Structure 1
Amino acid sequence: MTTSFQGGAAGATLAGCAALLLWAFLALLARLAQPLPPLLLTGLAFAVGGLLGLGVVAARGRLGRLRQPWPVWLHGVGGLAGYHALYFAALALAPPVEANLLNYMWPLLIVLLSGPIRGLHLGPRRLAGVGLGAVSAVLLLAGGGQGFGGGSLAGYAAAAGAAVTWALYSVLAGTPRLAGVPTEAVAGFCLASAAVALGLHALVEPAAWPAAAQWPAILLLGAGPVGAAFFLWDVGMKRGDPRLLGTLAYATPVASTLLLVVAGEGRLSGTVLLAALLVVGGGALAATAPAEAGR
């Protein structure tokens, strides 16, 4: 089954690039929506993104493509809702710049997990790239400069969990069982993720509701990084050039971090700058490794 949201390979690659651009704003918009509980923010953002996506799918007369077997729903909802709940928790519990960069270990983890899950050869260059990313994580945890106490520790753990969750979601999406799922199904995944997150919010988080000043950030989150970006990424990964998209993905943490700094949500210390360079360098090294086995 193919997706009708895609054009040619070049257009699909541009769609993936647009998703990366939208994700650069994810951390900043999430911080601007604070101090909402993470599950509430996740649910509201997904509700906005899901409703917008559903409107597009309905207008095209393709609501039937939302019917998918339960493993597809488990993958889609678990990946989308799980990642964003962990990511928003990390931004709320840890210094945002450090947590954001630790979360952006997911491009390197995608490279690492592609071996056992997709049967792709890694080779020394890709493994070296993963190693540089690991060093950046150690630097952030050891030298963040804003404390490594109980709250920060939980935030860093949530950021690491978010990275693992998104890497698994992305790698599994390219397996034979999931590669043919149409992009229209993403609208359903977003709405189901909203229901799961809001239900968990009612059970485990204190009751809360956004103030008027927080709604613009929530609406922008749902329309962009927690909405359109998923549709664009799905098109890019299935029909575009994954090598180019994989390389460009490592620029996203730098852009995201700079946006946080410019907005006054963090500071660009020497440790943070070095960690960002290691993430980008390691990712570029891994993404540009030869495709042949063993090299």
Structure 2
Amino acid sequence: MNINRKQATAIGCLAIFLWSTLALFTTQANSVPPMLLLTITFSVASVLFLGVYLLKGEVKSSWKKTPLKTVMTGGLSFFFYHYLYFYAFQNAPPVEAGLIAYLWPLLIVLMVGFTKGNHLLWTHLIGATIAFIGTGIMLYSKEGATDVGYEETFHWTGYAAAFACAFIWSGYSVSNRKHQDVPSSAVLWYCLITALLAAIFYIFTEAQESSFSVKSINFDTWVAIIGLGLGPVGIAFFCWDLGVKKGNLSLLGVLAYTTPAISTIWLALFTSLQLSKGQWIACSMITLGALFASLATSKKAPKA
């Protein structure tokens, strides 16, 4: 696909927008056990990508152009990020786990600044700082809300899993930049591996401990599951892969901070959630930080 840097960045932004719907769809499908939900949604994404690339006749060429090492790295990154994400939210207060896990945009900005041929702009740093503060306000501005079911202890395993989430996704995004020759259609193989691993994990863990049946999933929940598979778990990964390979990765890392703000607005519009004053302030700060970073002018790295 012949696109320029600005177009690739715009496509990467579409992934951020699609990821903003993740919380809304997940809320509608919260009755489904996590690993089963992961299995179904990534299966939907796999079928979507398989159908598209079969029609385009790119399945064989995609497999040939994607090294097995890259396939395994992408698949394992997808799976372990989501596995640890669910684990963190099950073993630590959701507010704190979410704040820690959402360090990945900031880590991307910092990591890419130290990679060869790139340097960190002061606008990126200031934008990331403003957005990060806004994210913290967003997560802690639930007036009078408490984390029910958690004792006042240090949930080190949950926190460690959340930190791992941040490092896995930021590391994957930055390292993926090196694989310019690998087609973005490789996300098909990543999704297939994730669906397979999640299915195995579900069979040997959740299926043994829960009496939940797929037959008990109602129509509205299926709509949410399909929405997850097509959007934030499907098309979003293709857009992100293309964006991080050919677009402005530093800018995308900062713009990713808009995800929790947009996500909260979706919840406020389509659920009974009422935004507090602090959350509106946080949304404004996150958006301001992202916009400030987007004003950064690209500079060529000095020749060696």
Specify the TM-score bucket, using the shorter chain as the normaliser.
0.7 to 0.9
Once the two structures are TM-superposed, the CA of residue 93 in structure 1 deviates from its matched residue by 7.3
Partner of 1:167: 170
CA distance in 2, matches of 1:62, 1:38: 32
Partner of 2:146: 147
1:118-157 matches, within 5 Å, as 120-136=118-134, 138-139=136-137, 143-144=141-142, 145-148=144-147, 151=150
Unaligned runs of 5+ in 2: none
Once the two structures are TM-superposed, the CA of residue 149 in structure 1 deviates from its matched residue by 6.2
CA distance in 2, matches of 1:102, 1:263: 26
Could you tell me the TM-score, scaled by structure 1's length? 0.79
Partner of 1:191: 192
Does the 8 Å contact 1:20/1:249 carry over to 2?
yes
Name the amino acid aligned to 2:201. L
Partner of 2:260: 253
Name the amino acid aligned to 1:106. W
Does the 8 Å contact 1:38/1:89 carry over to 2?
no
CA distance in 2, matches of 1:88, 1:241: 29
Partner of 1:22: 18
Fraction of identical pairs, as percent:
38
CA distance in 1, matches of 2:89, 2:23: 8
Range 129-138 or range 56-65, more displaced: 129-138
CA distance in 1, matches of 2:170, 2:128: 13
Name the amino acid aligned to 1:192. I
CA distance in 1, matches of 2:67, 2:249: 26
Cα separation, partners in 2 of 1:231 and 1:80, compared to 1, 3 Å: same
CA distance in 2, matches of 1:225, 1:61: 25
Cα separation, partners in 2 of 1:124 and 1:247, compared to 1, 3 Å: closer
- Give the length in aligned residue pairs: 287
Name the amino acid aligned to 1:218. I
Once the two structures are TM-superposed, the CA of residue 106 in structure 1 deviates from its matched residue by 3.0
Matched position secondary structure for 2:184: coil
Cα separation, partners in 2 of 1:111 and 1:14, compared to 1, 3 Å: closer
Cα separation, partners in 2 of 1:229 and 1:195, compared to 1, 3 Å: same
How big is each residue's C-alpha offset from its partner over 1:168-206, in whole Å with a ceiling of 9 and x where there is no partner? 22111112xx22211121101101111111212223333
Name the amino acid aligned to 2:106. L
Name the amino acid aligned to 2:18. L
CA distance in 1, matches of 2:138, 2:230: 31
Structure 1 residue 35 and structure 2 residue 41: aligned?
Answer: no
Cα separation, partners in 2 of 1:273 and 1:104, compared to 1, 3 Å: farther
Partner of 1:66: 63
CA distance in 2, matches of 1:196, 1:11: 34
Once the two structures are TM-superposed, the CA of residue 265 in structure 1 deviates from its matched residue by 5.7
CA distance in 2, matches of 1:229, 1:251: 15
Once the two structures are TM-superposed, the CA of residue 127 in structure 1 deviates from its matched residue by 3.2
CA distance in 2, matches of 1:291, 1:32: 41
Does the 8 Å contact 2:94/2:147 carry over to 1?
no
Partner of 1:3: none
How big is each residue's C-alpha offset from its partner over 1:38-67, in whole Å with a ceiling of 9 and x where there is no partner? 222112111110121012222222222224
Structure 1 residue 212 and structure 2 residue 213: aligned?
Answer: no
Does the 8 Å contact 1:98/1:272 carry over to 2?
no
Name the amino acid aligned to 1:121. H
Matched position secondary structure for 1:231: helix
Cα separation, partners in 2 of 1:33 and 1:157, compared to 1, 3 Å: farther
CA distance in 1, matches of 2:265, 2:91: 20
Could you tell me the TM-score, scaled by structure 2's length? 0.77
Name the amino acid aligned to 2:287. V
Unaligned runs of 5+ in 1: 1-5
Structure 1 residue 272 and structure 2 residue 282: aligned?
Answer: no
